[in-house]
Amino acid sequence: MLTLRGLTKRYGGKTVVDDLTLEVAPGKVTGFLGPNGAGKSTTMRMVVGLDEPTSGAALIRGTPYAELAHPLRVVGALLDARAAHPRRTAQQHLLAMARSNGISARRVPEVLDAVGLTQVAGKRAGSFSLGMAQRLGIAGALLGDPEVLLLDEPVNGLDPDGVLWVRTLLRSLAAEGRTVFLSSHLMSEMELTADRLVVIGRGRLLADGPTAEVVGAGAGRTVCVRGPQHGGLAALADRLRREGAEVARPAPDELSVSGVPLERVGDLAHEGHVHLYELRAAEASLEEAYMRLTSQSVEYAQEGRTDLEAGV
């Protein structure tokens, strides 16, 4: 169990993490989302004691990281894929971590094999590609067989097979009852991997709940309509607007409708004798939900962007 209580971090007059309170439960993959500069990495760094909170606390099993007798046996973290000394081999890097935490050296070949690096165990970390460095970082996070895992952008630099491997690994670790806290900017992958989502913006909590709930609440409901009668669709659009719907026409034979249930759209089309080829509810996506949730929290937005480009 990972618990954040009023966690706050300020640098001078800038608040990076703002009174963040949440619990990351075991047995689930919890996704951690937010724009660049939202405070995700700072939050993770405070959990493992690399940054000191201005106020509040980050607790693992009710204990600060600094007070854990053998931290790698409790918390495994990947915060920087390039953190290994470049002149050490993969095996040397993991062996040094093991010895400093009272972990058996026998664990090193086990995790190297688990991440697919056995064949390059004797190569220096500085020669690794980003994908290989990510695998080495994951091996380090797994070294102590911890019950809590913190992973910051673990699929960055991996090929599709590697991304699938990470997804399968994390879900299997959560199924074993471990706490998995994962950040990523890949919305499609997060939607496939995470059971629960935490979204922050400018250091503040914007959403916390099951993935399907966050997606549904953030993205709204859109009905897609397609038919051959351009005039009929125009008349249908007018009737829908009179009922308070928002209607867009992405193509001459299409309508995109929000604010009116699918059933009512169908009724109005039937009453108006509008021939339709397609009437369906568009599935909400995490990307749409995320853009809506964070539209007012993007710190590095370009000046002069349109609302559409800004994700509003």
Instruction: Give the structural domain span for 79.
Output: 2-217
Domain count, the chain: 2
Residue 301 pLDDT grade (very low, low, confident, very high; cuts 50, 70, 90): low
Q: What is the pLDDT of residue 89?
A: 97
Tell me the pLDDT tens digit for each residue of 283-299. Answer: 777 887 888 888 777 66
Residue 59 lies in a domain: yes
Q: Are residues 196 and 243 in the same domain?
A: no
Residue 61 lies in a domain: yes
3-state SS track over the chain: CEEEEEEEEEECCEEEEEEEEEEECCCEEEEEECCCCCCHHHHHHHHCCCCCCCEEEEEECCECHHHCCCHHHCEEEECCCCCCCCCCEHHHHHHHHHHHCCCCCCHHHHHHHHCCCHHHCCCEHHHCCHHHHHHHHHHHHHCCCCCEEEEECCCCCCCHHHHHHHHHHHHHHHHCCCEEEEECCCHHHHHHHCCEEEEEECCEEEEEEEHHHHHHHHHCCEEEEECCCHHHHHHHHHHHHHCCCEEECCCCCEEEEECCCHHHHHHHHHHCCCCCCEEEEECCCHHHHHHHHHCCCCCCCCCCCCHHHHCC
Residue 184 lies in a domain: yes
Residue 293 lies in a domain: no
Which pTM does this prediction carry? 0.78
Tell me the pLDDT tens digit for each residue of 195-231. Answer: 999 999 999 999 999 998 888 764 457 899 999 988 9
Q: Are residues 61 and 204 in the same domain?
A: yes
Q: Are residues 93 and 185 in the same domain?
A: yes
Q: Are residues 92 and 40 in the same domain?
A: yes
Q: What is the pLDDT of residue 222?
A: 84
Q: Are residues 29 and 100 in the same domain?
A: yes
